[in-house]
Amino acid sequence: MNRRLFLTLTAAASALGLRPARAESFEVTLSEAEWRKKLTEMQFYVLREEGTERAGTSPLNHESRKGTFFCAGCDLAAFSSETKYDSGTGWPSFWQPLPDAVRTKADPGLFGSRTEVHCRRCGGHFGHVFDDGPQPTGKRYCMNGAALVFRAG
């Protein structure tokens, strides 16, 4: 395969949303059938296929009670309500995850590279992190509400 063909195929795969399989291993692993049985259609699309819900559609956008946001896939505590803020983007946003809750990886695309955020225990896709958030971290963890479950308390 020559370089031009490789670059063309890579660009086409990226445009179609095709991504290589994760090399990372996780504590919680289920078969595709088990994930489909456990999750709603939207949760499966977001968590397992790295999809994105439509902006403004998650009830978690307006969640303002004290509590914790957990991974919808494996129930790992991921974000505290104390770090949630209204970013105006249409997705639940946080300026910091809970300790040892998430991992990140480069997410290259046609319009530049982003940093993908996923659950460190099951590998479920949460969203992306950007460097335009509030202090004290300056980060905006822009998460899909379908990837999270909120519990007050």
Cβ atoms of 47 and 72 within 8 Å: the answer is yes
Cβ atoms of 70 and 147 within 8 Å: the answer is no
DSSP 85: E
Q: Is 142 a catalytic residue?
A: yes
Which residues, in sequence order, are CB contacts of 145 under 8 Å at separation 6+? 53, 57, 58, 59, 60, 61, 91, 92
Q: Which of 121, 128, 90, 123 is nearest to 107 (CA)?
A: 128
With tokens 């291993």, the residue in question is 25
Which of the following is catalytic: 71, 119, 122, 142?
142
Q: Which pair of tokens denotes residue 21?
A: 């399989």
Q: Which of 142, 47, 19, 152 is nearest to 91 (CA)?
A: 142
Residues with a known catalytic role: 142
